[in-house]
Structure 1
């Protein structure tokens, strides 16, 4: 769908058009799921976070200042919902659940990039997800997370370094 059509749907939603809001949610549902699962790492919690975010967005759609940033606004609401779930749960995750599985193939270990990203601290992981998975510009990430753009850049650099270090350690352990 073209950007002009998305903006039009966002404007209609802001004026109370429920069908337009539903269409926007349907368009962004995969994006919402990817962000939620990256933060919460649990399907049920991710779906709860998405549901909560959609409800909050629907209830406060009139507060959307710039319809062209609907997706950014929605993801910010989702991140806040996910953080609220984390705060409520405060559960301990076992190391085995956290790391995931790898398999051996022709002498090399196959590494799932999601598993590697999941090992990052939350503040680095969310940046990787928004920047690479959601293709969100640095400026929008800065707005969503309420941190300066320079901080986004430096944390992204740190996250890339951590990923590189993990992957190089993983290769060395095989050889």
Structure 2
């Protein structure tokens, strides 16, 4: 499809055909990669098959904030290039499992967006088609959890016609100011 307007002008059946063809093409491109990958909003996990018996000392694995290089020493890298987005170095790791698979865990710097690809220039996925799995509040880090809980509280308050957390803070600040300045008339 060359434009959103053209896509929007298609019938439901035509859209379904276009989506199916795009999904098939995307699956073929992803299957052709020398690695498999999956993601959540906060991380990306990459797995690469290597010859059985491979040892850690046989590998070159360089995880940098904006790039990734993985391969066997003395050979052309299996993956090498600029990452789609930045990663947190301290929280990104790699392991060699059963001497046959490299597993790389990349922690996203911006944990609220989907990546179209792992390395720029590699085939991209359509992130608008991602349906995230349900997560529990307990799965979230403290800051994110607090933000989500506040949003949920505000949503319940609005639905009940009650003040939001921001409204309550403003009312409290005004009340404290009034108490500190009884000489002022606030009527």
- Shorter-chain TM range is under 0.3
Structure with the greater alpha carbon radius of gyration: 2
State the TM-score, normalized to the length of structure 2: 0.25
**Greater helix proportion:** 1
**Greater strand proportion:** 2
User: Greater relative contact order: 1 or 2 (C-alpha under 8 angstroms, separation 6 or more)?
Assistant: 1
State the TM-score, normalized to the length of structure 1: 0.26
